[in-house]
Chains A and B, each alone.
Chain A
Amino acid sequence: MTLAVQFTQVSRQFGDVKAVDRVSIDIQDGEFFSMLGPSGSGKTTCLRLIAGFEQPSAGSIRIHGEEATGLAPYQRDVNTVFQDYALFPHMNVRDNVAYGLKVKGVAKAERIQRADEALEMVALGGYGERKPVQLSGGQRQRVALARALVNRPRVLLLDEPLGALDLKLREQMQGELKKLQRQLGITFIFVTHDQTEALSMSDRVAVFNKGRIEQVDTPRNLYMKPATTFVAEFVGTSNVIRGELARELSGYPQPFSIRPEHVRFAEGPLANGEVEVHGLLHDIQYQGSATRYELKLANGQTLNLSQANTQWQDNAAPHQAGQQLSVRWAREAMVTLHDAVSGEV
């Protein structure tokens, strides 16, 4: 399988700040690849490096095998969907979509036809004559998508494109983007700070922290087998147990992660391969589909326990805050974590 984008030891420095620090990634052709991380973690800079809006301070970027370092944005076969959509306010929707074809000298009849097809594809057929200001946020988002896709790029870059939409619309667009990517078979590189978005859409996710990549993996592995403390805490919620307690429970000095939903209240005798801790039930949060219990352990650490509310009957919470409780989990559910960032992937 060919590589759509390949980063080799890429760094980008702004003054003293290393926005991207020796990052290496291989993005497969046709993959839905997400870059996930908090703001300032370097994910957007990586996207801009691929688009050509930034040039690397060191390292090499290859796009479909060709060295892209030093190429201007207009010399690259990638297109971007911008966070603020960046639609041209003085052009109508059709001219916006046809812009890429126009500057490449495609004949007028063909570019109008292709622009209308692209608008059709994002369910905005018949909106060609409108100006961007007359559209809603979700519609502008689709126009931006059509404008990028009409050029038939081999790699589509999406810079937090759903960030400005409300929750319902965002979920709907997530599904549509995923469907579109399968249908077109082109590489999508999706930047987001929303971990559920990254998990639900991507084939693989790279987790960024402080300019470096912590882990690149499938959503399932990322959640079930986080490599570092940062990944365990950023992707989903996790209990990271450190220090003496970690050694006592797992037998290793490294911290480990245990997901709240893998912890359960103690009942009956301790089974083989299980560990048990005791603590004071501090807080109970009812969250609808689940209830979260917050325990204070003897050493002062907090441990979260999440119990799915699978019964339709309105059962009152089985425990009250202030109770002393024992909780258990399977040894296999513990994932040993590394604190150091693994630079290589």
Chain B
Amino acid sequence: MNTLAIAPTPAPGSPLRRFSNLLYRRPNLYLSLLLVPPLLWFGAIYLGSLLTLLWQGFYTFDDFTMAVTPDLTLANFTALFQPSNFDIILRTLSMAIAVSIASAIVAFPIAYYMARYTRGKTKAFFYIAVMLPMWASYIVKAYAWTLLLAKGGVAQWFVQHLGLGPVLQFVLGIPGVGGSTLSTSHLGRFLVFVYIWLPFMILPIQASLERLPPSLLQASADLGARPRQTFMQVILPLSIPGIAAGSIFTFSLTLGDFIVPQLVGPPGYFVGSMVYAQQGAIGNMPMAAAFTLVPIVLIAIYLSVVKRLGAFDAL
């Protein structure tokens, strides 16, 4: 009668069968068997080491002997507010904000096109095209950009031939944005960050737009909304969770990055490179730990702001 192929089941009474029956009767045991390994890995090893690191932020570093002693102090955290350190935080924070905003603006049209106008093979092509840069080593890409942006590099050659040389000189002359060449300017560093983190912004926005039923846009037009109104009233509010998710990536990745700031842009530390320098070259683990707290606090503040804006309401 039954012609369907059925996977062989263990004979009744076999240990495997009894074990599977046990799991069936006790779903909580089943769940915990699945969850304990990743929780151990994530909870104990990752969070544990992070907390240990942060705890070292309260230790004392002796400038003369270069020795760390476990005498608890708040000196490292108050040192964050010294002008030289606070500059680093501000520089990193403003770059992270600028990069997130620019990524969102650049990513949105691509994500919109992917979600609404492509299907099948074209969509697969776009997915691969967006993720392809992530297959290449990140350091290679950053180095490539130093060459592209260098004096006499492709970018400058291109700008010269467009006759925009004076414009570039003017932009590079703006304090806080410019520098002597593109590759040693804040602008250059900003361009590299936007390039490198862009896929992290495109994909969440694309996913949020993908979930938008076409009938909502038709309903909006049907009720008399012009395309611009439909965009402002329906598409944008409903894609904010995607933009928020993407900006969490771009924001936190920029805050923690220590390679791009070393390769592109003017001298001066970022939070990431400061941590790297403190614990590597100087051996001041407590100060490095104090700096590590900065992105964590900033991201926590950022998430609470984003949440208050209602970004997670539509999830």
Contacts and interface: CB of A to CB of B under 8 A. Distances in A.
Interface stretch (B25-33, B195-203, B212-220): B212-220
B313 A86 contact: no
Interface in B204-263: 213, 215-216, 218-226, 229, 233-234, 237-238
Given A89-B238, A90-B238, A51 B233 contact: no
B314 interface: yes
Nearest to B219: A86
Interface in A67-91: 72-74, 78-80, 82-84, 86-90
A100 interface: yes
Q: Which of B216, B223, B229, B313 has the most CB of A within 10 A?
A: B223
Contact of B224 (A51, A53, A90, A103): A103
Given A88-B219, A99-B233, 14 more contacts: A52-B221, A72-B221, A74-B226, A80-B218, A80-B219, A84-B213, A84-B215, A86-B213, A87-B219, A90-B238, A103-B224, A103-B229, A104-B224, A148-B222
A4 B215 CA distance: 24
Contacts of A86: 213, 215-216, 218-219
State the majority secondary structure of interface residues on B.
helix
Interface residues of B, number: 19
Is the interface on chain A under 10, 10 to 19, 20 to 34, or 35 or more residues?
20 to 34
Contacts, number: 67
A121 B216 CA distance: 23
B234 to A, nearest CB: 6
Q: Which of A78, A86, A100, A147 has the most CB of B within 10 A?
A: A86
Nearest to A53: B218
B314 A80 contact: no
Contact of B314 (A73, A89, A103): A89
A103 B220 CA distance: 9
Contacts of A83: 215
30 contacts: A52-B222, A53-B221, A73-B218, A73-B221, A74-B221, A74-B222, A74-B223, A74-B225, A74-B226, A79-B222, A80-B219, A82-B215, A83-B215, A84-B213, A86-B215, A86-B216, A86-B219, A87-B219, A88-B234, A88-B238, A90-B238, A99-B220, A102-B233, A103-B226, A103-B229, A103-B233, A147-B223, A148-B222, A151-B223, A151-B224
Nearest to A79: B222
A103 B225 contact: yes
Nearest to B238: A90
Contacts of A147: 223
Contact of A100 (B218, B223, B238, B313): B223
Contacts of B238: 88-90
Interface of B: 213, 215-216, 218-226, 229, 233-234, 237-238, 313-314
Nearest to A150: B223
Given A89-B314, A90-B314, A99 B218 contact: no
A72 B234 CA distance: 18
A102 B219 CA distance: 14
A73 B313 contact: no
Contacts of B313: 90
The 7 closest A-B pairs by CB, nearest first: A100-B223, A86-B219, A73-B221, A86-B215, A103-B225, A80-B222, A103-B229
A110 B223 CA distance: 17
B222 to A, nearest CB: 5
Contacts of A99: 220, 223, 225, 233
A82 B218 CA distance: 9
